[in-house]
Amino acid sequence: MAEQQEIQLWQTVEPVDFSPRIEVRSEAQALLVQTRQGVGYAIGGGQLAHAIQSRATHMLMDFTKAACAIRYQVDGAWEQLPPLEREIGDAMLVALKQLSLMNATDRRSTQTGKLGLKVAKEKFTLTLQSRGTPTGEQVMARIEPDKVPFERMSELGMRDKQLEQFKEKLDAHGNSILITAPKGEGLTTTWNCSMNAADKLVRDFQAFENKDAQEPEVININANLFGGDTDVALPALVKSAILKEPDVLIFPEPPDPESMQLAVAQIKKTEKQIYARMVAPTAMQGLASYLARYKDSAAEITATLGAVLGQRLVRRLCDQCKVGYEPTPQLLKQLGIPAGRVAMLYQPFVPPPIEQQVDENGRPAPIEPCSACAGRGYLGRIAIFELLIPGDQLRAALLKTQDINQLNQVAKNEGHRGMQAEAVLTVARGLTSLDELKRMFAKR
């Protein structure tokens, strides 16, 4: 009797439907028919379906002579999966590269491709990035839902009072707003939610976007395209848009100094607004870099700055299985929480060693993993926001120094609650754990 083969993870789920990024439908169908003839089509479809079912946002494949190691990134943390045999992994990669319009035979060059995925009624975009390595090849697959999973700042975790302050600055006149986050920490999502939070019904919003890096469409925001095949330079585009007398000028990427100078002039002359976005570790570091980038406009930007929003992402404790514990007075003091203010903190459930998982009679009784989080202890992620609203002292200091520690101290003296204080508050609210905060700050 032949030995029964072990079921692979890709065989345990219904495979995804693929949608190649080809405009001519007949050509897309022909590519699907051709690729479906190879064994890698079903493997790739099943592996990606399993990744999506596991809530993975990234799948990393490391090819060596012996195998294809696979890891998922779930809620920002990497998880190791059983490896695939090299032959199976190769077949999967050939299919995925073909469907993503990449060169399937090139295992050395750096390549990037995109592919549409569908699971039931949900649609996703797969971005495939491959590069050769000394031991074989490494491939990163990023899985993004086509429908933005969040629409409101409150859904991201912003406190009610903080949201009220932020919205007041978003809807003000004659100021600028800077939105920051580290790379890979949800900056695009927060940016889109910020745009949704702003009052766009009675104001005209004009965004300036690179043709080769367009933003998702947002209702009541008009996109002005430059670069690419437009033959339009950003300064000329800004000048043209200003003639329409918009209320808000939006820069998803930091513009060139000339364009910024044109935009800043509108704040002072006609009480317009600027929304800008940039990658930065903290709100203060983002602000310092922003001002250094626009030295000729630094004084005007500083004088009209309304707010800087910074954020970091942490895993959210699973509400179904999180475990409460009474913090000691020493721990509360260490966290800066007044005694008696918080009666309970929370941490993820960690099952005891398997040999200790027994019933009242001492018989083995394995604990089933939580049905909500699959035993991870965390379910989804939440943003920790710091909202920097500069006062007179900070505005003056920003024009004299770029010392972040010194600027942070000035902001603290003016009442600013920094990222660390906001992080402790998130723990006190029972939304995440102290261990998760340690992990987050260790990444800095």
Amino acid 408: pLDDT: 95
Give the Cα separation of 342 and 430 in Å (integer). 10
Sign of the C-alpha dihedral computed for residues 205, 210, 215 and 219 taken in this order: positive
Give residue-wise pLDDT tens across range 205-235: 999 999 888 888 888 899 999 998 899 999 9
Our measurement of the distance from residue 27's CA atom to the centroid of its chain's CA atoms, rounded to an integer in Å, reads 34
Amino acid 1: pLDDT: 38
Among 102-116, 346-360, 363-377, name the most confident range: 102-116
Q: In whole angstroms, how far apart are CA 73 and each of 40, 47, 79, 360, 427?
A: 22, 14, 6, 38, 23
Q: In whole angstroms, how far apart are CA 336 and each of 208, 233, 386?
A: 43, 51, 17
Residue 99 parent element (H or E)? helix 86-99
Burial code (b: 16+ CB inside 10 Å, e: under 16) for 18-42 equals bbbeeeeeeebeebbeebeebebbb
Structural domain boundaries in the chain: 9-145, 153-315+381-442
Give residue-wise pLDDT tens across range 314-341: 999 999 999 999 999 999 999 998 888 8
Residue 281 clears pLDDT 80, i.e. is over it:
yes
Give residue-wise pLDDT tens across range 23-69: 999 999 999 999 999 999 999 999 999 999 999 999 999 999 999 99
Pairing label, strands 305-317, 248-251: unpaired
Amino acid 5: pLDDT: 65
Quote the mean pLDDT of the chain: 93
Give residue-wise pLDDT tens across range 374-390: 999 999 999 999 999 99
Which CATH code for domain 9-145? 3.30.450.90
Fold of 153-315+381-442: Rossmann fold (3.40.50)
- Token representation of residue 70: 């696979």
Residue 115 clears pLDDT 50, i.e. is over it:
yes
> By the 8 A CB rule, do 419 and 310 touch?
yes
CA torsion, ordered 190, 193, 197, 198, to nearest 10 deg: 80
> By the 8 A CB rule, do 142 and 131 touch?
no
Give the Cα separation of 291 and 298 in Å (integer). 5
